[in-house]
């Protein structure tokens, strides 16, 4: 039997531009020498407040609790100007506890409807900016309550996901309650009516930035009435009447920037807007198919106007906004940020464009339209990298998310576009992402870690990440108390751990302990964290040394806990795969036995073989296969109902994937090493499905099905069942035509067991007293079997080498025969004393074919260098095989193959006797 380690086969420089400095995680320079005594409480108050401002809320609260002085300083209003609740479950109770700190709160970011409901309890009357995502469940009542309590609101953003339950009534409430509103960006509204827009125009005179993105319907004519607007985006909005737009919007007196990306705007509307609007400076029309299909369209005639489209050089276009800079190239955004003399109007446009571009590129990456490969390589990736260096945190996050998204071409199979991934790497993207990941801002940490994780599916990118210190950074982030950060960091370690060269580095960086701790920390309600952590541990457990690290860190208990208690199929699959890999090193460590001894482990894996999810069944069967190599585990699996479950699995997987078929047959192969289990498998009906699997087209399935049938055939009752169920033709086909030498070998051995004479007497009785034996022609089956056994053995013989060996006993002659006859994988098989004794007895069989087959088998089991060769030699010594072998080698009537093979086995026994006595 062969243990199988299950890897995740997702079952990617130019001059580097550094980010503006941010406090970094794990900066050794911040830590004083451990031998020095430092009185931190003696620091000046303003220094402490500055340190607090560089921490996330959780760490800030922890430090505030250390002493009375710091508790007072931790309540300083300057530390509570901005609040990011996205990573936290914020209910009304939590909001009330924060209310005393939020008197001067001006900006808040939240996620989900529950946090939205809690915002009003913060009592932050001076709130200026609200930004929320995952807003699908936010209702009119919630949004209306929020704006009614925050009349000083200047910015409201909900998206980029759709606000499906927000209607025109809530938007009217915004208009009535927030007269100071300057910026309104809403995504996915069903209908933005004329009444709503007119209310905004009337009651919000300072409204200069409007975004109705990905909406189903927006009243175009009414938008022409919002005379205060400077920047307008209807990106992704459908059902727009572009004739109305082109005749009305150019009259907006202050319109500077217009975004119509991802719409069906036509060239005539674009031309009319650019030519007739005196104030319009920038029109963004990215990913607009109708416009892009017009090859005759030209923007050169619109002097002083900038059109950003997929067919234009966007960097060159952006540079045209600056009077004194004409050759910025791809660094135009960075050059703008570093300008010593600023133009307020240009800054306003550039800030808006950063937001628009980050949003549009992310949406485009999510939809992954065809035909954009050249754009992504030449412009898309460099733009996203430039946007990651923005001073706007939200733009940085979306740019990182865009990088994480645009490389993925098949999310289910974790396939990425290698060209795009390596384009990011060539442009210095790895260092930029790692710098973001070291930021103290947890939103940036999670999005950067997500991008690193996805890019690292590419082996070249993974190598670059490791060389840039990314493994240490991700291991540090995996310890974060922020679930979103920990989840993405675990995903990064999962993908990096696919590479054999990274496993040791992950362990050295403390990644194993961090991943195991994640499972205990987020043991319920955090399926994404658990799946990624278990997946990374599964990859690490494939390495012998790392598997011991996993066990020492408590990984066995953690993974068994997931297998027993978690109901999410992705977690179950990865936990089972991890346990399978831990159990795959039974010859070098004790993890196989440790998994079996963990309370409930075997019962959980047996139960998982009944899962409705094929991946879960496959990995559970693989784990049971590996665990069955331990004698105690083998019997415990049977006691836990493993025989019945695995037979049922084999019966159900005729049309399943080759991976599931291989593991189902492999697990039965492992259990059938025990004679009691072998009999139980036969009585449970396991013979027929194994014969069906033996007919699979997959080489790996051939091996495991043949191995299981070989073990079952040792029992004469099972041997007869195999004949009755039509197993002889199936084994004959394997023996003669399988691509796998091992499958052919084991099929031949199974046939030899079946027709060495022991089954004949039993056949007269039948396989059971409850049923009548099926009518079979044993003589015909025997002749067919022997014919193909002989043909199989002869394929490993060379007449010239045999003639030389027959004429001479020189080691070189025998070595030449051995080299031709050797089946490399057979050295991994481990036979019992009874099996060895049966082959030795077969040397006396009247059939010359069976004699040759037995000698050939014993040769495979004793070739020096085989994993269990010494064990087999010892069993043969105990069985007195040397005398029988000498007789076979000297018998005048024995076939030449049997004689030569017997002499080689005798030489092997002498070698092992000498070896064991040294």
Same domain membership, residue 789 and residue 662: yes
- Contact in structure between 405 and 360 (CB atoms under 8 Å): no
Same domain membership, residue 834 and residue 859: yes
Same domain membership, residue 808 and residue 757: no
Measured CA to CA, the distance from residue 542 to residue 846 in angstroms comes to 47
Residue 525 lies in a domain: no
Give the pLDDT score at 16.
Answer: 36
Give the pLDDT score at 409.
Answer: 86
Same domain membership, residue 817 and residue 738: no
Measured CA to CA, the distance from residue 520 to residue 557 in angstroms comes to 10
3-state helix, strand, coil in the chain (%, to 5): 60, 5, 35
Residue 746 lies in a domain: yes
Residues 624-676: tens digit of each pLDDT? 999 999 999 999 999 999 999 999 999 999 889 999 999 999 999 999 999 99
Give the pLDDT score at 65.
Answer: 77
Nearest Cα neighbor of 154 from 131, 187, 122 is: 131
Q: Of the candidates 770, 794, 818, which is a domain's last residue?
A: 794
- Contact in structure between 848 and 898 (CB atoms under 8 Å): yes
Same domain membership, residue 790 and residue 660: yes
Residue 830 lies in a domain: yes
Same domain membership, residue 785 and residue 664: yes
Residue 714 lies in a domain: yes
- Conformational region of residue 417, where left means phi above 0, alpha means psi within -120 to 50, and beta covers everything else: beta
Same domain membership, residue 710 and residue 789: yes
Task: Name residues of the chain where pLDDT drops below 70.
Answer: 1-38, 40-41, 299, 324-328, 761-776, 915-918
Total domains present in the chain: 2
Measured CA to CA, the distance from residue 385 to residue 432 in angstroms comes to 8
Give the pLDDT score at 799.
Answer: 85
Give the pLDDT score at 915.
Answer: 64
Measured CA to CA, the distance from residue 352 to residue 306 in angstroms comes to 14
Same domain membership, residue 844 and residue 715: no
Same domain membership, residue 806 and residue 789: no
Listed in sequence order, the residues at least 6 apart from 300 whose beta carbon sits closer than 8 Å to its beta carbon are none
Nearest Cα neighbor of 916 from 880, 862, 879 is: 862
Same domain membership, residue 788 and residue 660: yes
Q: What is the 3-state secondary structure (H, E, C) of 117-146?
A: HHHHHHCCCCCCEEEEECCCCCCHHHHHHH
What are the two backbone dihedrals, phi and then psi, of residue 129, each rounded to the nearest 5 degrees?
A: -140, 130
Residues 573-583: tens digit of each pLDDT? 999 999 999 99
Same domain membership, residue 842 and residue 787: no
Q: Domain range for residue 874? A: 797-916
> In this structure, what CATH number is given to the domain that contains residue 747?
1.25.10.10
Give the pLDDT score at 767.
Answer: 47
Residue 725 lies in a domain: yes
Residue 534 lies in a domain: no
Measured CA to CA, the distance from residue 7 to residue 120 in angstroms comes to 49
Same domain membership, residue 820 and residue 751: no
Residue 900 lies in a domain: yes
Residue 143 lies in a domain: no
Which residues sit opposite 233 in a β-bridge?
A: 211, 259
Give the pLDDT score at 101.
Answer: 83
Give the pLDDT score at 43.
Answer: 80
């Amino acid at each position: 039997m062969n243990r199988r380690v299950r890897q995740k086969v997702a079952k990617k420089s130019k001059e580097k531009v550094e980010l503006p400095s941010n406090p970094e995680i794990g900066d050794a320079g911040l830590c004083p020498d451990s031998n020095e005594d430092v009185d931190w409480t003696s620091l000046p108050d303003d220094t402490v407040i500055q340190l607090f401002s560089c921490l996330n809320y959780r760490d800030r609260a922890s430090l505030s609790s250390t002493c009375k002085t710091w508790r007072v300083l931790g309540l300083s209003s300057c530390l509570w100007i901005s609040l990011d609740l996205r990573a936290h479950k914020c209910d009304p109770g939590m909001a009330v506890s924060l209310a005393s700190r939020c008197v001067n709160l001006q900006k808040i970011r939240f996620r989900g409807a529950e946090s939205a409901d809690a915002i009003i309890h913060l009592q932050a009357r001076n709130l200026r900016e609200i930004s929320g995502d995952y807003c699908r469940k936010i209702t009119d009542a919630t949004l209306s309550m929020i704006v009614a309590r925050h009349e000083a609101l200047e910015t409201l953003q909900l998206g980029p996901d759709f606000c499906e339950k927000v209607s025109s009534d809530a938007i009217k409430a915004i208009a009535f309650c927030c007269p100071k509103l300057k910026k309104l960006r809403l995504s996915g509204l069903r209908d933005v009516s004329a009444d709503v827009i007119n209310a905004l125009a009337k009651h919000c005179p300072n409204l200069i930035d409007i975004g109705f993105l990905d909406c189903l319907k927006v009243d175009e004519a009414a938008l022409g009435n919002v005379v205060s607007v400077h920047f307008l985006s209807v990106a992704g909005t459908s059902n727009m009447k572009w004739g109305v737009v082109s005749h009305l919007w150019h009259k907006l007196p202050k319109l500077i920037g217009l975004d119509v990306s991802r719409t069906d705007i036509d060239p005539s509307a674009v031309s009319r807007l650019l030519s007739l609007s005196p104030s319009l400076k920038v029109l963004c029309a990215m990913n607009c198919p109708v416009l892009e299909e017009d090859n005759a369209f030209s923007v050169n005639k619109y002097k002083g106007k900038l059109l950003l489209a997929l067919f234009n050089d966007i960097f060159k276009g952006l540079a045209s906004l600056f009077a004194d800079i004409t050759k910025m190239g791809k660094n135009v955004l960075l050059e703008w940020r570093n300008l010593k003399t600023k133009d307020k109007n240009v800054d306003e446009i550039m800030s808006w464009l950063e937001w628009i571009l980050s949003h549009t590129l992310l949406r485009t990456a999510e939809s992954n339209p065809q035909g954009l490969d050249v754009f992504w390589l030449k412009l898309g990736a460099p733009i996203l990298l430039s946007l990651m260096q923005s001073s706007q945190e939200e733009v940085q996050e979306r740019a990182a998310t865009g990088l994480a998204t645009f490389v993925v071409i098949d999310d289910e199979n974790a396939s990425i576009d290698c060209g795009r991934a390596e384009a990011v790497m060539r442009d210095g993207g790895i260092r930029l992402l790692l710098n973001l990941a070291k930021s103290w801002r947890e939103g940036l940490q999670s999005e950067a870690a997500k991008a690193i994780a996805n890019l690292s599916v590419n082996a070249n990118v993974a190598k670059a990440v490791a060389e840039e210190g990314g493994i240490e950074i991700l291991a540090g982030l995996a310890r974060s108390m922020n679930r979103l950060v920990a989840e993405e960091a675990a995903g990064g370690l999962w993908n990096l751990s696919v590479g054999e060269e990274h496993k040791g580095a992950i362990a050295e960086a403390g990644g194993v302990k961090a991943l195991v701790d994640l499972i205990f920390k987020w043991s319920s309600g955090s399926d994404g964290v658990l799946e990624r952590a278990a997946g990374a541990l599964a990859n690490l457990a494939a390495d012998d040394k790392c598997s011991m690290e996993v066990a020492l860190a408590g990984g066995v208990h953690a993974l068994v806990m997931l297998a027993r208690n978690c109901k999410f199929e992705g977690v179950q699959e990865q936990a089972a795969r991890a346990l399978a890999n831990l159990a795959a090193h039974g010859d070098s460590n004790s993890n196989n036995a440790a998994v079996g001894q963990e309370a409930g482990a075997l019962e959980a894996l047996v139960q998982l073989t009944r899962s409705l999810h094929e991946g879960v069944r496959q990995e559970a069967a693989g784990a049971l296969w590996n665990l069955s190599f331990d004698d105690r585990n083998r019997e415990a699996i049977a006691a836990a109902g493993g025989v019945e479950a695995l037979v049922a699995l084999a019966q159900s997987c005729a049309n399943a994937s080759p991976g599931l078929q291989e593991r189902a047959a492999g697990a039965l192969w492992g259990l059938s090493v025990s004679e009691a289990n072998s009999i139980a498998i036969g009585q449970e009906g396991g013979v027929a499905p194994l014969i069906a699997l033996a007919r699979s087209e997959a080489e790996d399935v051939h091996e495991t099905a043949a191995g299981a049938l070989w073990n079952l055939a040792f029992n004469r009752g099972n041997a007869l069942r195999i004949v009755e169920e039509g197993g002889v033709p199936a084994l004959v086909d394997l023996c003669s035509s399988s691509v796998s030498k091992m499958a052919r070998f084991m099929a031949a051995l199974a046939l030899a067991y079946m027709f060495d004479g022991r089954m004949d007497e039993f056949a007269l009785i039948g396989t059971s007293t409850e049923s009548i034996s099926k009518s079979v022609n044993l003589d015909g089956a025997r002749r067919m079997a022997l014919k193909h056994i002989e043909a199989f053995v002869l394929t490993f013989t060379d007449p010239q080498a045999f003639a030389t060996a027959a004429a001479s006993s020189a080691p070189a002659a025998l070595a030449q025969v051995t080299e031709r006859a050797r089946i490399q994988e057979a050295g991994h098989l481990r036979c019992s004393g009874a099996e060895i004794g049966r082959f030795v007895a077969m040397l006396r069989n009247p059939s010359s074919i069976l004699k040759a087959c037995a000698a050939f088998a014993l040769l495979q089991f004793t070739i020096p260098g085989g994993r269990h060769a010494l064990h087999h030699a010892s069993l043969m010594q105990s069985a007195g095989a040397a005398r029988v072998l000498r007789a076979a080698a000297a018998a005048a009537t024995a076939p030449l193959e049997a004689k030569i093979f017997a002499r080689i086995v005798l030489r092997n026994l002498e070698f092992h006797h000498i070896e064991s006595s040294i």
